[in-house]
A and B are shown apart, each in its own frame.
Chain A
Amino acid sequence: MNINPFAVTKAVDFSDAEIERTYIPFSSAGNPGIVDPQSPMPHFLVGAKGGGRTHLMRHLATPIRRRPTLEEVRNAGYIGIYFRCSGLNGSRFRGASADDSAWARIFAYYMDLWLAEQLVASARGILKGNVLGAVEEGFRQTLTVILGADAWDANYSSEEALAALRREVDVAVNNAPLIGLRGLTIRSAPGALVFSLARIIVDRVHALRSCRITFLVDEYENLSTAQQEYFNTLIREKEPPVTFIVGGRQWGIRTHATLSGGEENKQGSEYELTVLEDKYRGDEPAYSSFAKAMLDLRVRATGIDTNDVGVLEVLYGPSPTASDRRLPSTGKHLERLRRALEKAHVPADAVAETAMMLDLPQREFISRLSLLRFYLQWSESKNVDVVSIARAARDWVAPLVAGKPSRELLNFRSQRRLDIEAQMYADAGKQLPYLGPDALIQMSGFLPRNLLMTLKYVMQWAEFYGERPFEDLAGVSEQAQAAGVLEASRWFLQDAKPFGRDGAECEQAILRLGRLLRDVRLSDKPSEVSVSSFSSNLQGAPEAAIAVLDRCVSHGLLVRVTSGRTGRNHGTQHKKYQLHPMIAPMFGASTGRRGDLTLTSDEFSRVFDPAVTEEVYSEMVRRRLRAMTAPFGIDFRSTDSALF
């Protein structure tokens, strides 16, 4: 059985030691880092699944988990305390035994106890001897002031006292359905415990007086809106040395509202917010280096020596150039040409001559290029002399075979190459391969886990086909790559979409959009080059369709394009969205972002409105493709046929 270096794809599956061993810093030009744990400004770290958020946050908490010396903590400049909100089990703070406001108060108290307990446990992990004794004394005095002397057993340590009080809440909440919440006392004002106890540490430990105490709060989406409001209040009213780094899914940040007089925390004032994949997207070369380093490290960790060759190069070889490709030839493009000319009632001899003119045996790619040129000229001129147009098209591409192609021709080939290759694979009934390191990294959509998942599936398929990619550094076959990429693509759609009806609606919209983009790309005369995006002004579109669009974006199925060609082409009213590159292989679409298909609001609705039937959607697609499909509505019976 082959070793699969990419088998572990989630940071939660790693031990602390593995987190450190596999951690790769993302360094971007002129950028000090993604997040600064010493900064007093709270920071939300959000994004889609698989951006590396948990890995980063656990890495930031590492120093404290290693039981460091005081010197090490002082040098780090902060005490990072990591926890997952799922551990709070927040969903239990509800039910008929109390009203919502009572549950909110109980949760706030519980959260304070939880944070305080984590803080005290962390202090005990760092401090020793007399220093610990002094801090513990401070903790106990503070607990007595805040909670009252009768609230806890005097024989308890501060950590035991907090654990006992938290347990008191646990038991009361658990018994609430049977006996109600009677007997539960909330003993502290919101926030008082954690901020006061944190102050003790920096006041009583000289070496730590400049240190920040940074709570690294992961899986924020596990808190309800009301619970997040309380946490947002802590963020707003935080007191030094405490600060927060909050991690969660983008859709899981439900609110920035607080309980402080209804005030809402504002980005830039009360918090900073980083979307991890946007950070990566802002420096593509840095992301590419980061991704390659991540993979290389994993391969080497399994003991495989790639002899200083990058792992992706070992697996896939260097990124292929146009001349490397062995494209499948079928001749089907000429069959379609003949049918289109016949449909336009072109005389039979002209049909045969036109097809012959554009047929370049052994050079199907160039033949298709000339055919595309022919379609562009023919549809524009609607000239009945198709033979002359075909001859001109053939002569135009001829320098690609022999001679010196013009810059215009080279640009034309460069622009249309990927679309023509996609058509050749589709005609051959083969999956379009996404070959080479750059394509795979681009496909990940700036989410490192996607790259790992893709490689994991590719390796599984390689094993299925009996390949041993690392054994003799032979690499992975195109067949295994294609199968792995397609499986990763399907996985992504299922993994990223929401659960339930919301997810089904998103899936329907994405499948419809993908089919539309595929049909445009595979049409005789695609209106856009390497189309993978759409834009629309969305005016008048039904709310239900907009809601599905928003969900697709927040769950990472679509990428909102906020700059670039949109503004120039359509003005600011148009919004542009790219099919997530992980989904592109399902439809043989481009993983890059080039052409975008402009949709009217009606067309947009037919894709995204869950109430629109398949028939109504298909009618729109047929209408839309008419102008891209030969013979483009041309019928020579209704034109001057004198030339024949």
Chain B
Amino acid sequence: MDYSLYQRDHFGIDSVADVRFDVFLSCHNDSERVHALFGAVSADRKILVLQAEYGYNPDEVSTDGEIHSLAFGDNEFGQWLQLLDSLQLDVANCRLAIDITGMMRPAVLVLPLVLKHMGFMSVSIYYTEPSVYAKGTATQFAKGNVRGVSTIPGTAGLPLGRESEGDLLIVGAGYDQELVSAVLESRRAALQLLLVGLPGLQPHMYQESLYQLSLVREEARDGGKNAVLYAPASDPFMTAQVISDEVRRRGQHEKRDLYLSPLGAKSQVLGFAWFYALEGRVREATIVFPYSDSYSRETSLGVGRVNRFVLEFGRMPEL
């Protein structure tokens, strides 16, 4: 699979309005970069989604767009389908753009599947980079307890039904090393690979990721140089490419269960989601995620580069 063919571009926040959409959908949180893009984008309808996991209620938020509340919980598919149905979009002709910057990771992970299921042919996905994460390496994206590392419903794969020594787990390593540790711990028999953003969203972020990684390396099984994979943090298609190549390389001789757990930047998460949609689902891969009690509303500072990735669903297998 050649993921380099997919279209991506980037621009400053001032140039965002150059492209016009019928519908722009964004998930609200306290990050400046989410607000900035929502204000700058040019669309006939702007929809702001409040996610229950952040604990917002509509009274807290002022916007000139429509507000919808979702509680993804463990029903990401159902919640997306319900929302998109309620918007009564003309799927065949609608120019839809979705900002994933403030979106819960599990919701990002099922998004391509949902959009395909709805019948969209192409959707623009936006992701705005931060200048820095608010507390550097100490930034915590999840709050409270890790309720458990669970499969995201609908992305469970089909286990081979034998012992799992040959299984492969690829974790998109984010700053929150405790979440990474939780995932590694949950699949401790698997061969564990950590995917790191290189280059990072900002130059210092690679260093910070490596520092965080050093705290969890003891958990990683492969131990040697192959335990770490690299893909540009801001490029989901290259992320998907790296995963695809690695899975093919390791799976040449033996069929094995494949587990994916993206915990890094949302652009990286989208890369995992895109790989899963195009190849992983057919390969019977499973996405696992460390669900937490709640999530931080604000984890970053500043507004960096705005990225746009165009998901084209033509080559995506039917669900």
- Chain A residues near B (Cβ < 8 Å): 7, 10, 12-13, 15, 82-84, 86-89, 91-92, 94-97, 114, 117-118, 121, 163, 166-167, 170-171, 173-178, 222, 491, 494-495, 498-503
Contact = CB atoms under 8 A, between A and B. Distances in A.
B30 interface: no
Nearest to A173: B156
Contacts of B144: 500-501
B104 interface: no
Contacts of A495: 218
B55 interface: no
> Which among B162, B164, B221 has the highest number of chain A CB atoms within 10 Å?
B164
A interface SS class? helix
B150 A87 contact: no
B75 A177 contact: yes
26 contacts: A12-B189, A13-B221, A15-B165, A86-B164, A86-B187, A86-B188, A87-B164, A87-B257, A89-B286, A91-B151, A92-B153, A95-B78, A96-B75, A118-B161, A173-B156, A174-B155, A175-B319, A177-B75, A177-B76, A491-B218, A499-B145, A499-B179, A500-B178, A500-B292, A501-B143, A502-B145
B115 interface: no
B227 interface: no
A501 B73 CA distance: 19
B78 A12 contact: no
Contacts of B162: 87, 121
B145 A501 contact: yes
B161 A503 contact: no
A91 B291 CA distance: 11
Contacts of B159: 87-89, 170
Contact of B74 (A84, A96, A500): A96
Interface string B269-296: 0000000000000000010101011000
B163 A91 contact: no
The 10 closest A-B pairs by CB, nearest first: A177-B77, A500-B145, A91-B150, A92-B156, A95-B153, A177-B154, A96-B75, A499-B146, A92-B151, A170-B158
Given A10-B188, A86-B187, 4 more contacts: A89-B159, A92-B153, A174-B158, A177-B110
Contacts of A84: 163-164, 189
Nearest to A94: B74
B292 A177 contact: no
Given A91-B148, A114-B161, A86 B189 contact: yes
Interface residues of B, number: 49
A178 B145 contact: no
Contacts of B286: 89, 92
Given A95-B74, A163-B161, A170-B156, A86 B186 contact: yes
B35 to A, nearest CB: 29
B198 interface: no
A178 B223 contact: no
Contacts of B23: none
Nearest to A96: B75
Given A84-B189, A163-B161, A499-B182, A175 B154 contact: yes
A86 B167 CA distance: 11
Interface in B31-56: none
A13 B215 CA distance: 20
Nearest to A11: B189
B161 A166 contact: yes
Contacts of B179: 499
Contacts of B187: 86
B68 interface: no
B221 to A, nearest CB: 6
Interface string B56-88: 000000000000000001111110010000000
A92 B186 CA distance: 14
A81 B221 CA distance: 24
B212 interface: no
A499 B219 CA distance: 14
A94 B163 contact: no
Contacts of A491: 218
Contacts of B292: 500
Interface string B119-161: 0000000000000000000000011111011110111111101
B29 interface: no
B114 to A, nearest CB: 9
